[in-house]
Amino acid sequence: MSSDKPIIEIRNLKVRIAGKEVLKGINLEIPRNKVFAIMGPSGSGKSTILRSINRLWDLYPEVEIDGEILLDGKDVYAMKDKEVRRLVGMVFQRPNPFPHMSIFDNVAIGLKMNKLVKSKEELRERVEWALKKAYLWDEVKDELKKKASQLSGGQQQRLCIARALALKPKVLLMDEPTSALDVVSTKKIEETIVELKKDLTIVIVTHNPQQAARISDYVAFVYQGQVIEVGPTSEIFTRPKNKLTEKYVLGKV
C-alpha cells in the first residue's frame, strides 16, 4: 500500500440514531502519520464520526449507517470485530483504566487476550515499550503492581493511551482526551500525541479550537452533522474559506 494513500477514507457517511439524522453524508480523507483533529461545537456529531470508524455501536441498537469507511483500503464494516479492535485504538474523555487492576496488567491484558506476545519476557518488553511511548514509564516503573486507581487523572489517561498503544494499532482515536484534565496533564498528553504520529495516525476530537491549532496537522470543522471545511490546520486557522469556520475559530460559535 503506497504511503501517500490516506489511512482512512470516509465516503458519504450517513448515520441515523433513533430516527435522527446525526451525520448527513460526510466525506473525509485522513492522511497517514499525522494528527487529524475533528473540531466543532457540542452535539455536532464528532463522537459519532469516531464511533463510525471503530464500529463502537454496542450500546446503540437503533443505529443505521450508510456509506463507506476504508481503513488502509479495506472496508471496516466487512472486517471481523477482533480485527477492528486490533487496528483501531480508542481513548475516551474520562480516563477509564481497569481501576482494580495493576498498572502492568492494564497494559498487558489486551496483549494476553489477543495472544499477541509469545513469552513473559516479550510481554514485559511490550508493556515497557507502551508505557514509554505514553510518557508514563519514568513515573511508574518502580510501582507497576500499584492499582491503576491510585494514579492521578492525567496518569490514568496516559495509562489508557499505553493500553491502546500496546496492541500497535494503525490508528488511535481520541475523543476529547484532555477535557477532564488539568492544564499540566493536558500539556503532557498533547506532547505525547505529537510524538506518537511517528508511529501511527491520530484522530482527535476536540471542542476546543485552540487545542486543534496547537497539535493538529489537518483539521475538519464539523457542524450539525456535516463537514463544513477541512484542510491543513495552518490554512483553516489563518484563511478559513467558510464564514461559519471563521466564526468558530474566532470562538464565536
Residues that bind Mg ion (CB under 5 A): 47
42 near ligand ADP, judged by CB under 6 A: yes
216 near ligand ADP, judged by CB under 6 A: no
Q: Which three cell numbers stand for residue 18?
A: 433513533
Q: Which is nearer to Mg ion, 192 or 206 (CB)?
A: 206
> Nearest distance from residue 45's CB to ligand ADP, in Å?
4
**Residues 6+ positions from 44 with CB-CB distance below 8 Å:** 222, 223, 224, 225
* Helix, strand, coil percentages for the chain (3-state, nearest 5): 40, 25, 35
Q: What CA–CA distances, in Å, run from 10 to 77, 101, 151?
A: 12, 37, 37
Partner from Mg ion, ligand ADP, none binding residue 43, C-beta < 5-8 Å depending on class:
ligand ADP
198 near ligand ADP, judged by CB under 6 A: no
Residue with cell 490554512: 235
Contact with ligand ADP (CB under 6 A) among 7, 8, 48, 213: 48
What track of x and - describes contact with ligand ADP for positions 12 through 41 (by CB under 6 A)? -----xx-x-x-----------------x-
> Nearest distance from residue 189's CB to ligand ADP, in Å?
19
Site for ligand ADP in 113-132 (CB under 6 A): none
Q: Which is nearer to ligand ADP, 45 or 97 (CB)?
A: 45
Contact with ligand ADP (CB under 6 A) among 8, 47, 127, 186: 47
Query: What is the rounded CA–CA span in Å between residue 159 and residue 156?
Result: 5
Partner from Mg ion, ligand ADP, none binding residue 18, C-beta < 5-8 Å depending on class:
ligand ADP
144 near ligand ADP, judged by CB under 6 A: no
> Nearest distance from residue 16's CB to ligand ADP, in Å?
9
64 near ligand ADP, judged by CB under 6 A: no
Residue type, 106: N
Query: What is the rounded CA–CA span in Å between residue 124 and residue 27?
Result: 41
User: For residue 25, which of 247, 226, 186, 238 has the smallest C-alpha distance?
Assistant: 226
Partner from Mg ion, ligand ADP, none binding residue 103, C-beta < 5-8 Å depending on class:
none
80 near ligand ADP, judged by CB under 6 A: no
Distance in Å from the first CA to the final CA of the chain: 40
Q: Which is nearer to ligand ADP, 105 or 175 (CB)?
A: 175
209 near ligand ADP, judged by CB under 6 A: no
Residue pair 131/137 in contact (Cβ under 8 Å)? The answer is yes
Q: Is 233 exposed, middle or buried (0-12, 13-18, 19+ CB in 10 A)?
A: buried
* Sign of the alpha-carbon dihedral angle for 93, 49, 223, 248: positive
Binding site for ligand ADP (CB under 6 A): 17-18, 20, 22, 40, 42-48, 60
